Amino acid sequence: MAIGLIIIGDEILSGKRTDKHFPKVVELLSARGLQLAWAEYVGDERERITAILKRTFASDDIVFSCGGIGATPDDHTRQCAAAALGVPLVLHPEAKAKIEERIADVAREEGRAPDYDAPDNAHRLKMGEFPQGAMVIPNPFNKIPGFAIRHNDRGAYYFVPGFPVMAWPMIEWVLDTHYAHLFRQAAHLEKAVLVFGKAESTLTPLMERIEEEFPLVKVFSLPSVGDATTRRHIELGVKGDPAQVGAAFERMLLGLDQCGAEYRGMDNTL
């Protein structure tokens, strides 16, 4: 079971707004011993959104989708989710109640009685129209809920607004309410060094040998052109099961020594 993230909105792709969801979701998952497996960005185009949802609904993944669940003409996520599942949009009774609570709150703040039949309030109820069979995700900021869909025995989708102040606590609620049993299940360790004066192609055979010898470990290399304090280098390391990472790291250092590589630890040791 992998965890995925979909970020929806023309404003992200055009550069009008900088995406903040990706680093925050990585942070929220990391704090719970979980890791993001994949992420996709898509604009406000119904055909593309529907295609992405239909494709990923076929997986067993846990997926968070941020954006496009409002009721303005450029919000398509609710409709696309319904189309991808082949079910109608229906007004969720719990969502209706929460939206009406919000309408009453706003009216109270303005010193008037709520008019639930007013055209603008009737339009707000569209934000509670979810694909048939969906469940509600509570929104602690303004009570307008998101929705969840369990599309098979294992996989589930969680649709939240694009506003970080709403989306992030809603994602935290989903994780803590539904997936606490997954927290910190897999132990993970990572060790790396900075390698100078070597090309990745030169180091690739060593990397392949380590992964063959230690099947519970992944080798990674991150080239850098350097900066004012560090010259051009490759961050070369191993990560994975702590039971194998230590031995794999020592094997990597031995290989670097054998090929005459210059390297140092991430904290200037070695």
pLDDT digits (tens, 9 = 90+) for 189-206: 899 999 998 999 999 999
Residue 27: predicted pLDDT: 96
Mean pLDDT score, 28-55: 95
Residue 47: predicted pLDDT: 97
User: What is the CATH code of the structural domain delimited by 3-182?
Assistant: 3.40.980.10
Mean pLDDT score, 110-134: 94
Give the model's confidence band at 216: pLDDT under 50 very low, under 70 low, under 90 confident, else very high. very high
Mean pLDDT score, 154-161: 92
DSSP the chain: --EEEEEE-HHHHHTSS---HHHHHHHHHHTTT----EEEEE-S-HHHHHHHHHHHHTS--EEEEES--SSSTT--HHHHHHHHHT--EEE-HHHHHHHHHHHHHHHHHTTS---TTSHHHHHHGGGGEEETT-EEE--TTTS--EEEE--SSS-EEEEE-S-HHHHHHHHHHHHHHH-GGGTT-S--EEEEEEEES--HHHHHHHHHHHHHH-TTEEEEEEEE---SSS-SEEEEEEEE-HHHHHHHHHHHHHHHHHTT-EEEETTS--
User: What is the CATH code of the structural domain delimited by 189-265?
Assistant: 3.30.70.2860
Question: Does position 113 have pLDDT exceeding 60, yes or no?
Answer: yes
Mean per-residue pLDDT over the chain, rounded: 93
Question: Does position 218 have pLDDT exceeding 80, yes or no?
Answer: yes
Residue 154: predicted pLDDT: 74
Give the model's confidence band at 212: pLDDT under 50 very low, under 70 low, under 90 confident, else very high. very high
Residue 269: predicted pLDDT: 54
Domain range list for the chain: 3-182, 189-265
For 42, other C-beta atoms within 10 Å of its C-beta total 22
Question: Does position 270 have pLDDT exceeding 70, yes or no?
Answer: no
Question: Does position 52 have pLDDT exceeding 70, yes or no?
Answer: yes
Give residues with Cβ within 8 angstroms of 79, minimum separation 6.
46, 89
